[in-house]
Structure 1
């Protein structure tokens, strides 16, 4: 997808739209403050990371967020608008109360890229030049979410970096990780999560 964007296929990026939501309030660790629960930290990170990736690691100029907390003060529904330099924005939604489409869109001045469900670990995306697929290995195991076996690529990259003596992955810098954490913390603060 990033190669298609870099090639100018959709023109200048104007908007990112991403959602990730699953009916998961029955999962105790997600609804409790003492276990670090909440939609933003658990699922929302994928939408924030997607926006950060598309925006080239840029920090948003402004984060506007709202949502709802459960009786323990944990966010169970969250939406955010991120305002970026160069006339770009992102609209992000996450929840542990219901199944959202869990897709992502990158809208440009010349076209749109649609990242198919599940956006956190997709096997395909559609762009003006066609549909691109990269099937994940079939493992026969059940995971928390669809396509979770795709997270093995993150684990392999961590191993590669450790073996190479690297302190960070060239594909995901510390700075980008900090940007993602700062955006999520701003979202949570604006919703009243303490």
Structure 2
């Protein structure tokens, strides 16, 4: 007997929701079944574009649909806590966009509820599930580059000046760390773990009062270091490097990786490529489906404990800059 097909409900009809909905056509065990928006006309247009059977003019109606197995939360991160909680209270499995919440205190509440009610909950760190990143993890697990001593990961882009938009507006949890920085911070956690011994950081706080770009240096108990940079008003390289005592791994455009190269001393370079024709969100959707079909409430590739540790780390980094949001 094959896997049951997971009927997905998509909560919010913005850009990333569209990317996820489009990718579900490539998932082996899931389908886009319903879309919920605060605007019914917008929901209907979204449903028509992606061939989704059900369209709702509220999030409440979406999570109340008994046919929906899992809800993908795609709202801006200040709304994640209330939206995830709504879906969990309706008994749904939840995949929530990153960052999971604005701070660790919010996530602690969600994790406690999900665990108490034995409901599936996962952060949508889609990078972890890409075939290229899975191969990178295999190389690391096999010790191909020796002991990992250094990680460097950057993600940044130059967004237009829009003080009211979500990237720069403190009322919407704006700033580089939460929007772009979650990628390099999570990547370092994947390689070196989420518990550095020391944290050093600096940021440029712009006119709106949020971080426009930042740099973080993490050191670990074993002597390893991670150098991480992020930006929303500065186009920087989006690559990652992992250096070990016997070689290195280079991942260009690591967050949506389609290739990575392994360099081992004394050996020819080894390159892995992924020629997928879709964005890559299908892989995380499949992972949720596999977990649900196996009766699991978490995914070991990005556990709730790790997501919590990452947010606690980001809280500490933000604390070093004195950056607190109006709603905190």
TM-score bucket (shorter structure): 0.7 to 0.9
When residues 6 and 191 of structure 1 are mapped into structure 2, their CA distance, relative to the original with a 3 A threshold, is same
Query: Which of 136, 141, 148 is equivalent to 1:6?
Result: 141
TM-score by length of 2: 0.53
3-state SS of paired residue (2:302): coil
Matching of residue 172 in structure 1 with residue 312 in structure 2? no
Query: Which of 147, 151, 154 is equivalent to 2:284?
Result: 154
**What CA deviation, in whole Å up to 9, does each residue of 1:102-160 have, x standing for no partner?**
000000011110011x211100101124111112224xxxxxxxxxx213322332343
Equivalent residue for 2:235? 99
Equivalent residue for 1:193? 323
Q: Counting helix residues as a fraction of each chain, which structure ranks higher?
A: 2
Contact kept? 1:25, 1:31, Cα under 8 Å: no
**What CA deviation, in whole Å up to 9, does each residue of 1:55-109 have, x standing for no partner?**
1x34111111101112222111110000112111100000011211100000001
The worse-fitting range, judged by mean Cα deviation, of 119-128 and 157-166 is: 157-166
Contact kept? 1:121, 1:151, Cα under 8 Å: no
Matching of residue 41 in structure 1 with residue 171 in structure 2? no
1:163 CA drift (Å): 4.4
RMSD between aligned alpha carbons? 1.5
1 CA distance for matches of 2:160 and 2:231?
Answer: 9
3-state SS of paired residue (1:5): helix
* Segments of 4+ moved more than 4 angstroms: none
Contact kept? 1:30, 1:38, Cα under 8 Å: yes
TM-score by length of 1: 0.87
3-state SS of paired residue (2:214): strand
1 CA distance for matches of 2:261 and 2:217?
Answer: 24
Query: Which of 17, 23, 26 is equivalent to 2:158?
Result: 23
Contact kept? 1:58, 1:84, Cα under 8 Å: no
1:25 CA drift (Å): 4.0
Q: Which has the larger radius of gyration?
A: 2
1:192 CA drift (Å): 2.1
Unaligned runs of 5+ in 1: 139-148
2 CA distance for matches of 1:26 and 1:133?
Answer: 36
Choose between structure 1 and 2 for higher RCO, CA contacts under 8 A separated by at least 6 residues. 1
Equivalences, count = 182
